[in-house]
Amino acid sequence: MPRLGWSRMQRRLHWGTALGVGLAFVLAWVMVAVPLRALLVKFLLYQAHKTLGLLVLLATLIRLPVRVRRGRPDWDADLSPWQRHAAGRVHLALYALLLTVPVLGYFTAATAPAQVPTLFLLVIPVPHLVGASKAAFGVLRPLHRALAIMLVGLAAGHAAMALRHHWRGRRMLVAMWRGDKPPSALPPGTPH
């Protein structure tokens, strides 16, 4: 039986992940720019960034089995095969980056020479499974940054395409926001 819309859980996880990625990305640039003389502020910003990264990872780990179990709504009937293929590849890349970037962030923090603890929600200590390593940190930090930039760029492109489809009369964005059924799945003559 065809799926007619995204479930409430899928929609909440989608928008929560998007918010988490956006906030973590902004915090990353701010926390690095804060001078060491404002050490407490810098520490709090780093902990907020780490917490958001862990939340994004957790949300993604929940999203994947939900997506497998619930699937996705049917494509709009007028969406061309190449657009469906491209959208599928972008979603696959987004999921891969949503898993990889937080894991790289965790190992970046764990291998950092300064060995600042990771406190989830500023309260729960997250043990570092590996120790400080200047060599590993030198590789992981720029890789984490580059893939985070790629994630945000891909997410921005994903959002831009959703807006483009919305402006062309497709209800994909509305379906992800409110859970409405796409018009191609509605009986003929149903107002939407």
pLDDT tens-digit profile of 53-102? 999 999 999 999 998 998 887 777 777 889 889 888 999 999 999 999 99
- In whole angstroms, what is the distance from residue 184 CA to residue 79 CA? 10
Q: Is residue 76 part of a domain?
A: no
Between strands 124-126 and 118-120, the pairing is antiparallel
pLDDT tens-digit profile of 10-47? 889 999 999 999 999 999 999 999 999 999 999 999 99
Q: Is residue 1 part of a domain?
A: no
Sole residue written with tokens 């790289």: 104
Q: Is residue 189 part of a domain?
A: no
Q: Is residue 175 part of a domain?
A: yes
The residue range of the domain holding 117 is: 8-71+81-180
Q: Is residue 190 part of a domain?
A: no
pTM here?
0.85
Q: Is residue 144 part of a domain?
A: yes
Q: Which position has the higher pLDDT, 180 or 121?
A: 121
Share of the chain above pLDDT 70, in %: 85
Count of domains for the chain: 1
pLDDT tens-digit profile of 103-121? 999 999 999 999 899 999 9
Q: Is residue 186 part of a domain?
A: no
Q: Following DSSP, what letter does each residue of the chain receive, concatenated? A: ----S--HHHHHHHHHHHHHHHHHHHHHHHHHHS-GGGHHHHHHHHHHHHHHHHHHHHHHHHHHHHHHHH--PPPPTTS-HHHHHHHHHHHHHHHHHHHHHHHHHHHHHHH-TT-PPEEETTTEEE--SS---HHHHHHHHHHHHHHHHHHHHHHHHHHHHHHHHHHTT--HHHHHHH-PPPGGGSPTT---
Q: Is residue 131 part of a domain?
A: yes
Q: Which position has the higher pLDDT, 166 or 116?
A: 116
